[in-house]
Amino acid sequence: MSRVRTAAERLLEEAVTTLAQADVPSPEVDAELLLSHVMGLPRAMLRSRAKPQEPQRRAYLELVEARARRVPLQHLTGSAAFRYVDLEVGPGVFVPRPETELLAGWAVEQAQAREAPVVVDLCTGSGAIALSIVHEAPAARVHAVELDESALAWAERNLLGTGVDLRQGDAFEAFADLDGTVDVVVCNPPYIPLEAWESVAPEARDHDPALALWSGDDGLDAMRRLEETAWRLLRPGGVVGAEHADAQGGSAPAVFTRRWRDVVDHDDLAGRPRFVTATRP
């Protein structure tokens, strides 16, 4: 005799079907995370303890329909987990990706290996990398910059009270007052070629700020400017790390080979080229 499904289980099944039909990449996970958000319960307890009332059911189905329209999950829940911190995110800011956690981890390790290091996070967006560094390497003096006003507002929320020197401006012209004094420069720049518009997931293409996505015909316009900026900011022996697209595992490091040493490209957890690091001689 089959067990009678709970109201929460029926809701989840309906949501998974809706999201799968909309080609959402992880329909089961997203359905559970949205119900967890509405009910205020951990995912593991939804099927056994969630007893959604009609107002909660309606709210949940509205969120599911929005996710089916490919509104980012993090915009619907209002938060994004990143390494050991949670960030407030929403419309107007680039949602931090799990792949970027590896670049942030590299920056944290570089900061931890130095005494009172000066770290600069260019194109900070939500402040994810800067917040991770102050959280995991509290001795670091962290500076961050963001050009877009909407994204800056999110960074201000996330970095409030952390001591991070957050500024608004062009990342590649900022921090002239720090020239030659920085130990670590880290950046998740825009790196998508303009011609790749059709191949970009709707969550990013339609909802992330254009300023955070596109970077010229080959996707490396920002990387070339970053190379110049990092050279200006870093002291001798300082290091730079920057994320790039998986198709740029050869072209992104090539930006640094002319005058930097120890140019290394790093894979993400899926084995795809993901970020480049280099040392200023």
What domain count does the chain have?
2
Burial class (CB in 10 A: 0-12, 13-18, 19+), 50: buried
Residues annotated within a binding site: 146, 188-191
Convert the pLDDT of each residue in 33-89 to its tens digit. Answer: 999 999 998 888 888 788 888 999 999 999 999 999 999 999 999 999 999 999 999
Residue 2 lies in a domain: no
Convert the pLDDT of each residue in 149-208 to its tens digit. Answer: 999 999 999 999 999 999 999 999 999 999 999 999 999 998 777 766 666 678 777 777
Same domain? 89 vs 184: yes
Q: What is this structure's pTM? A: 0.89
Structural domain boundaries, residue 158: 83-279
CATH code assigned at 163 = 3.40.50.150
Residues annotated within a binding site for S-adenosyl-L-methionine: 146, 188
Residue 212 lies in a domain: yes
3-state secondary structure of 52: coil
Q: What separation in angstroms does the CA of 78 have from each of 71, 93, 103, 140, 149?
A: 12, 11, 23, 28, 18
> Helices 100-112 and 128-136, interaxial angle, to 10°?
40
Residue 60 lies in a domain: yes
